Amino acid sequence: MIVEARSLFAEHIATRQAQLALALDACGYDELLIWSGAQITAFLDDYHYPFKPNPHFMSWLPLTRHEECWLQLRLGEKPVLYYYQPDDYWYAPPTDPESWWADQVEIKPLRKPLAARDVVSSSKAAIIGEVEDRRGVGDVSLNPQALINLLHLDRTRKTAWEVACIAAANKIAAIAHNAARDAYFAGASEFDIEMAYCQAARLQAHEMPYGSIVAINEHAATLHYQGKDRSAPTVRNAFLIDAGATCYGYAADITRTYSNSDGLFAQLLAGMDALEQRIVAGAIAGTDYRRLHLQAHAEIAALLKDLGVLKVSPEAAVAEGISATFLPHGLGHYLGLQTHDVAGLIDNQGEDLPRPQGHQFLRLTRVLEAGNILTIEPGVYFIDSLLAKLRESKHGVAVNWDLIEQLRPYGGIRVEDNILVGEGGNRNLTREAFAQL
């Protein structure tokens, strides 16, 4: 599938060139240098942390493990890539460029790292990257915020190439999710489920877009639970897995929750799955994402009321902040080269777009545009520390604590899909991927 998508790459570069010309012009530059970055080693050691290139570099090139490269972009000219390929026998150097992407740039092979001063050619240049002064930045404008904002806004409108990469990442992740589900129901430990996931995705853990969240029972109440228990619990109530995949650096970010019961928790899970799809239906061009986030709170409060967990009206539960005990994170975020992708909190002029009062973790406050890709990920959790605070507050009477005791051993629920926004509709890339298996 992704090999066919390579035919979309030339058009992607043409789009980037047109976007860059406008952005450079608006900011008074005529040249941009993007540095891919350098590996980081542990203190007093030669151990390398997994390397992630500068995402601005990957937004031009499908090079996900290439350090010490410079991309030189000059108005009206073919991009020049200083391609770092050291003569090394300790580590395998990057392979030779492949024509499907390399034809879009002029390649200058590099055997040794190059300083910024050796690349820059204009007095009106800017550099984007984590570049230190000792690399000869001099007077060149480094990471100017106005230019970065414009390029970030461009990255919110996905090209056909980017859509194909994220759809392919969803396909890989869906295969791996099914393998993880099967491992869970076969009795595997969190650690062994993680192994099954990586094996099915054909990706190492460090090639995932984020640390997979593999949570059995109460562990699902920790939002970014990072442990991977080696022993399998004998009591198995529920399983939450939030895990993705990458394709040329583009991420999938998917969560599924499974239940071993057919009681209250199963009803809650079915309700969450249904409300997630209702919220997804509203993710179309022109919708303010803040409205979808508040819809999630209202729908979850209504579901908890219907099941008898809450004793107050959904309106009161949202207005008084009670729903935030059960949903203490944002509804979702932009998705792309970064799992929590850029420009979610600014408008098209680069001005801050505030979060609704009391919702400080929301990562997306924009009015949606066609071409945006984002997650919709409502959740409901039974988190001891937040429940204790609610119980002690004046709103403690709004909750049926016997039912909370029933639900605590299940940890929580999250349902997360990746959505491509269109005019008057959208594509659910995640459910499409599962349906194709």
Residues at the contact surface with ligand GLY, assessed by CB under 6 A: 210, 242, 253, 339, 377, 416
Q: Which helix (DSSP H) or strand (DSSP E) does residue 142 occupy?
A: strand 141-142
Element (H, E) at 391: helix 384-392
Distance CA 407, CA 382 (A): 7
Report the relative pairing of strands 417-421 and 426-428 from DSSP bridges: antiparallel
Please tell me the distance from the alpha carbon of residue 146 to that of residue 345, in angstroms, as a whole number: 15
Structure tokens at 287: 């919708």
Work out how close the CB of 230 gets to Mn ion at its nearest, in angstroms, rounded to a whole number.
23
Closest to ligand GLY by CB, 51 or 210? 210
Task: Determine contact, residues 118/140, Cβ cutoff 8 Å.
Answer: no
> Which does residue 192 touch among Mn ion, ligand GLY, none (CB within 5 to 8 A, set by kind)?
none
Partner touching 287 among Mn ion, ligand GLY, none, CB below 5 to 8 Å by kind:
none
The reply on whether position 242 binds Mn ion by CB under 5 A is yes
Q: Does the protein bind Mn ion through residue 276 (CB under 5 A)?
A: no
- Measured from the CB atom, the residue of 66 and 414 that comes closer to Mn ion is 414
Read off φ and ψ for residue 200, nearest 5 degrees: -70, -35
| Consecutive H or E run containing 197 | helix 190-201
Closer residue to Mn ion in complex, CB, 147/364? 364
Q: Which of residues 21-60 bind Mn ion (CB under 5 A)?
A: none
**Residue 418 binding: pick among ligand GLY, Mn ion, none (C-beta 5-8 Å cut-off by kind):** none
Q: Out of ligand GLY, Mn ion, none, which partner does residue 426 contact, by CB within 5 to 8 A per kind?
A: none
Tokens of 423: 């005019």
In the complex, least distance from residue 283 CB atom to ligand GLY, rounded to whole angstroms = 16
Closest CB to Mn ion among 36 and 170?
Answer: 170
CA distance 68 to 243: 30
Q: 259 is in the binding site of which of ligand GLY, Mn ion, none (Cβ under 5 to 8 A by kind)?
A: none
Q: If contact means CB under 5 to 8 A according to the sort of partner, which of ligand GLY, Mn ion, none does residue 277 touch?
A: none
Question: According to CB under 5 A, which residues from 246 to 275 bind Mn ion?
Answer: 253, 255
Cβ atoms of 159 and 15 within 8 Å: the answer is yes
Query: At what angle are helices 190-201 and 160-185 packed, to 10 degrees?
Result: 140
Nearer CB in complex with Mn ion: 312/345: 345
Radius of gyration of the chain (CA): 24
Shortest approach of ligand GLY to residue 32 CB, angstroms?
30
Interface ranges with Mn ion (CB under 5 A):
242, 253, 255, 375, 416
